[in-house]
Amino acid sequence: MTIRFVFRFLVTAIILMVVAGCTASTKPDLQPFCCVCFSPDGKLLAAGRGTYLHPMNGPRGTGKGEVFVWSTETWAEPRVLRNDLTSDVRGVAFRDGGREILAASDAYLPDLPGSTPSRDGNRISSWSTEDGKVKDTIVFRDTSEDKFFTGVGFVQQTAHAQKANLLAVAFLGGRPFVVDMNTGKPKYILEGHESSTCLVFSPDEKLLVSCLRRNKNQPLRPIKLFAADSGKAVAELDIGIHASQAAFSPDSTRVVVGSMEGDVVFVTSDFKKASERIRVAEKPIASIAYSPKGDFVAVGTRGWGTTRSRIYLLDTTTEKIIKTLTEEVPSLQALTVSPDGKLLVGAYGTHESANKEKPEGGVKVWETASGKLLRELK
């Protein structure tokens, strides 16, 4: 009788474990998205993501970086691009007129038993948008003797210059540099702005802006302007805020800068004039995107835990808030506006420890004219 009871107990336990495993496998995949962009013609939307969200510095991964590509005409199931991306995809861009997708992933490993943070494996991958096949792969190894790669840190953000085919890469704890994607070789280092977390090329590809984000209790650091072709420092400006994000106007004459305090400042691209600070929110600015026509700027705040992100639209002429989107986002990571200016897209993601119920991640699409949420992609 005892043996029969034990046998039944074991069989029941095994069945319950199998059922639990099946149930878990059917849960929606809600991993964090870190970056997002449209193809030049607006027909494709690409978003990069990973599987681990660092509680202090945003999405970071465990070795499963992916790029999701949607058709904006059908919004059907996305194509998923992988190429042994070492961690979360922190930057995504289209090149060659939209025929290729670039993605940069960092080499961060979370503090798990038996693992340590590693800088050996930051990489850039590219795929054909037509068939999804891998085109190129560049690996940045911190152990390399090459001066460009030594001490590069973890990838934070990227910026791409379409015509020159240059990719600027910002690192946490390292020096930002620019890669010539025609050759796959580093072109220059942006000296004097280590740990830059925001790099932006001007649309005319003549200038490159770098913001050095710092916590509120740390000294202010000026935003810096570089020549895009050489990496030579052109100007710097202390606008009295902890700059966190920036975006160029379509005509390359203005830069809008967001701060850790929730302020926005409009600056001329020669860094000679700056507007008064515009208080958008009481939370840090997480992302900024200029509309293609230059008539408005989308500004998103950072969210964490129970604090949600909110997105505002500012008129660039009056420099006033003209719309606040009613649909909040768990934790905004990136914003982009479609080439025709009709759609606003936000990528978001939260850490499991920040939301004890479940991690949240996805991409939301709004209509800019009405502020209406059109769809959510996961």
* Number of structural domains in the chain: 1
Side chain identity, residue 31: Q
The helices-and-strands tally (H runs, E runs) of the chain is 1, 30
Report pTM. 0.83
Which residues are CB-neighbours of 250 under 8 A, at least 6 positions away? 203, 290, 291, 292, 293, 294
Tell whether 9 is covered by a domain.
no
pLDDT under 70: residue ranges of the chain: 1-30, 51-64, 84-87, 107-121, 140-154, 173, 213-218, 305-306, 351-359
Helix (H, G, I), strand (E, B) or coil at 263: strand
Tell whether 250 is covered by a domain.
yes
Q: What is the pLDDT of residue 69?
A: 97
Side chain identity, residue 74: T
Render pLDDT for 228-237 as a digit per residue (tens, 0 to 9). 999 999 999 8
Tell whether 52 is covered by a domain.
yes
Tell whether 11 is covered by a domain.
no
Domain harbouring 238, CATH code: 2.130.10.10
Tell whether 325 is covered by a domain.
yes
Q: What is the extent of the structural domain holding 33?
A: 29-377
Q: What is the pLDDT of residue 361?
A: 83
Tell whether 5 is covered by a domain.
no
Q: What is the pLDDT of residue 165?
A: 92
Closest by CA position to 336, among listed 348, 344, 327:
344
Question: How far is 181 from 202, CA to CA, in rounded Å?
Answer: 18
Q: What is the pLDDT of residue 226?
A: 95
State the maximum Cα–Cα separation within the chain, in Å, rounded to a whole number: 89
Render pLDDT for 311-323 as a digit per residue (tens, 0 to 9). 999 999 999 999 9
